[in-house]
Structure 1
Amino acid sequence: MTIDDFTAGFTEEPGYLDYGRVGPLSTAAAEETLAFTQVLQRARHGSLDAFGEQDSRVRAAASALTGFPVDQIAFEPNATTGLMHAMFGLTGGVLLSAEEFPSLPIAAVRAQEALHTVQPVWLETDHGKVTPGQIREQLEQGVVAVAVSLVDSRTGYLCDIEGVRQVIGDRLLIVDAIQGFGIVDAPWEAADVVVTGGHKWCRAGWGTGILALSDRALERLTPVFSGFSATEEAEPWGHVPPPAPDARAYRVSNPDPLAQARLAAALEEIADVTVPVINAAVADRVSRVIELADEYAIPVASSRDEQERAGIVVLEPPADQVTVLTASLHNHGVTATTRLGTVRLSIHAATSEETLEMLRGAFVSYSTAASY
């Protein structure tokens, strides 16, 4: 599959720059949804067997992208569930930033409150940027794990996962990958826990996600939330067997096969075109958005270095002009996220010339209004 074939599957209207919030369904995911919905609707004799095949299919697709073995990957309904599994499964200190997207610090605190086996150790950062150097300086003796975001949702900063691995030794490295999975060619082998949802950059819709675990994670984590479908028996009637020895232990119930099919279709398409090719297309369009912001003197708060960014550009106009910029984007049909005094633009591989011209028009209106 070529990059042109891939971008042809983006059918959202021009002006959409909000993949960091939600990625509109890809054509592949939408068609898979329709096909399996019709199978379920009709329930022809023998047709339901296909639903049971989607679990192995989605795990194989995730394995192709991450390099984790199939049996060390579990489908999850969202990224937060995977993070809860990881945090509740820890014993000891976990070093993380309180400025991460709330899913991560809240999971750590809830685990501490409920089980008293994990202790959050709060990392001081450089304006939200988590770096290997900061982690090295703040590692404490009782820290058994470090948790980071692959891409920070507020700053757009791309974490140096490989650098973090080098400084933490054999401690567990937990990566919330949702803001870059599918567009960042990350060194997944450096991580012990990779958690992501499929509704953003993968464009697979809500209710989709994966939890991938290294050998070390399987050995050290305890599967606290481990339901009836998480054992080695299909239906353990009359007794309670132990959790399965692999990633199945982190299932609570039977997964939604329609959601699995959607995610599988999206991941298979990404693997077909390859993440580096997608990443190059994203990087080119991100550079063009930054150039547009510079042209109209709109301050860019996110990194300009391709090694430190993914698909997010954060604009930080003067505080009294944030509303003006937000209104200008809205009036020109540009979908973006305004949060905590900044405007976040999320750019994907298919961001079109028409979308960039709409963004230019919004910047022109903003600059005109801001000059008065």
Structure 2
Amino acid sequence: MTTVEEFAEGFLEEPGYLDFARVGPLSASVVAEVQGINEVFSRGRFGSLAPLRNEDERMRVAASALTGFPADQIVFQPNVGTGLMHAMFGLTGAVLLSRAEFPSLTFSAARASEALHAVQPVWLETDHGRVTPGTVREQLSDSVTAVAVSLVDSRTGYVADIDGIRQVIGDRLLIVDAVQGFGVVDAPYEVADVVVVGAEKWLRAGWGAAFMALSDRAIDNLIPVWSGHTGAGVVDPFDEVLPPERAATAFTVARADSVAQARMSAALEDVASVGVDVLEAAVADRVDRVIDLADEYGIPVASARETPERAGIVVIEPPHDRLTALSASLFNHGITATTRAGTVRLSAHVSFGEETLEMLRGAFTSYSTA
């Protein structure tokens, strides 16, 4: 097993980076993985490229270890949006989701409805943007065949209770966009029917790599609308167009990027070597320190304070006429964060250290005395 300290030493970003909810800078192991494969790829030595085909199985096994889904029910996707499109275009009936979800969810539901008229978005009225089992229960109807939710809300950092949502929706499909939390939230992914995860945030493996895990129920009920030759169950189906097989692989279009798979595998294996529960606790400690510092300087915290309801995100909300001053102070002190809709989102990973804390303290000091 790897300790949190050993894990944290494997990251390369400079102090002041507090924007992991937007994108996580690559880890040293991911960089090494890419460099190694690029060296092999660039040479093209006899027989050297064949092992790249093994990266698909490696990625699926690594994802299986962290989600609880069987490896043969996990497929690589080029990004989260594509995986969610596969799910939404495959639905029939109504899908219940909030308009406040990240656009990957809302746009995929809307586009599927517009194109096929087989699925209809039903917009959930939320509790201040929070999707809870109670709000879902109140707005379920017989026409709803699926519920879609983000594991972690990108604007507030709120962690959805997907186990509670499963209990209230019965045997309807549960679709979870888990990118904003995977690797730092120890969630019961196995209660979902579709889990889509990207590598670019807390996994810190870059853009262009994602996976989609499907339950037996999802495979049986979703129609693989976007299914290419790789979804037919035959290696090279020349001279005939075969139907999609009844398997997770049906939700693929073409052969995967082996280099992207290797990046994601390295990151997933690193997380598994520490344990998501251990990383969750370590990130919670970092978040506590950010919240304590905001409280010390009287900067209102708009995100959840209780550990079970939050991920690695702290949202601070200064008075409207002071937002520019706070953003400028953070910028001047080298703090990378996201400013959006009147708030500042700070997101901390395990590599958050004393130097970053002192840089943040300097920014808050400048802001409070300006």
Question: Which amino acid in the other structure matches residue 261 of structure 2?
Answer: Q
Task: Identify the residue that residue 33 of structure 1 maps to in structure 2.
Answer: 34
Question: Which amino acid in the other structure matches residue 10 of structure 1?
Answer: F
Question: Which amino acid in the other structure matches residue 127 of structure 2?
Answer: D
Following superposition, the deviation at residue 244 of structure 1 comes to 2.3
Following superposition, the deviation at residue 127 of structure 1 comes to 1.6
Following superposition, the deviation at residue 125 of structure 1 comes to 0.7
Following superposition, the deviation at residue 247 of structure 1 comes to 1.0
Task: Identify the residue that residue 309 of structure 1 maps to in structure 2.
Answer: 310
Task: Identify the residue that residue 107 of structure 1 maps to in structure 2.
Answer: 108
- TM-score, normalised via structure 1 length: 0.98
Task: Identify the residue that residue 341 of structure 1 maps to in structure 2.
Answer: 342
Contact 1:98 1:122 in 2 (8 A): yes
Give CA-to-partner distance per residue, 1:176-223, whole Å, 9 cap, x none. 001000111000111110001100000000101010000110011011
Task: Identify the residue that residue 143 of structure 1 maps to in structure 2.
Answer: 144
Give CA-to-partner distance per residue, 1:131-168, whole Å, 9 cap, x none. 10000000011000000000000011000011100100
**For 2:346, what is the secondary structure of its paired residue?**
strand
Following the alignment from structure 1 to structure 2, what is the Cα–Cα distance between the partners of residues 275 and 237?
43
Q: Which runs of 5+ in 2 are unaligned?
A: none
Following superposition, the deviation at residue 175 of structure 1 comes to 0.3
Following superposition, the deviation at residue 241 of structure 1 comes to 1.2
Task: Identify the residue that residue 184 of structure 2 maps to in structure 1.
Answer: 183
Task: Identify the residue that residue 240 of structure 1 maps to in structure 2.
Answer: 241
- TM-score, normalised via structure 2 length: 0.99
Following superposition, the deviation at residue 5 of structure 1 comes to 1.2
Q: Which runs of 5+ in 1 are unaligned?
A: none
**For 2:254, what is the secondary structure of its paired residue?**
coil
Question: Which amino acid in the other structure matches residue 6 of structure 1?
Answer: F
Following the alignment from structure 2 to structure 1, what is the Cα–Cα distance between the partners of residues 273 and 155?
30
Task: Identify the residue that residue 4 of structure 2 maps to in structure 1.
Answer: 3
With 90-99 and 236-245 compared, the bigger mean Cα shift is at 236-245
Task: Identify the residue that residue 254 of structure 2 maps to in structure 1.
Answer: 253
Following the alignment from structure 1 to structure 2, what is the Cα–Cα distance between the partners of residues 71 and 180?
23
Task: Identify the residue that residue 129 of structure 1 maps to in structure 2.
Answer: 130
Task: Identify the residue that residue 15 of structure 2 maps to in structure 1.
Answer: 14
Following superposition, the deviation at residue 120 of structure 1 comes to 0.2
Map 1:287-326 → 2, pairs under 5 A: 287-326=288-327
- The number of equivalent residue pairs is 369
Q: Would you say 1:281 and 2:294 are equivalent positions?
A: no
Contact 1:151 1:159 in 2 (8 A): yes
Following the alignment from structure 1 to structure 2, what is the Cα–Cα distance between the partners of residues 349 and 82?
28
Question: Which amino acid in the other structure matches residue 309 of structure 2?
Answer: E
Task: Identify the residue that residue 226 of structure 1 maps to in structure 2.
Answer: 227
Following superposition, the deviation at residue 126 of structure 1 comes to 1.6
Following the alignment from structure 1 to structure 2, what is the Cα–Cα distance between the partners of residues 309 and 150?
10
Following the alignment from structure 2 to structure 1, what is the Cα–Cα distance between the partners of residues 64 and 247?
14
Question: Which amino acid in the other structure matches residue 352 of structure 2?
Answer: T
Give CA-to-partner distance per residue, 1:237-291, whole Å, 9 cap, x none. 1111121221111111111000000000000010011101111110001011000
Contact 1:279 1:349 in 2 (8 A): no
Question: Which amino acid in the other structure matches residue 192 of structure 1?
Answer: D
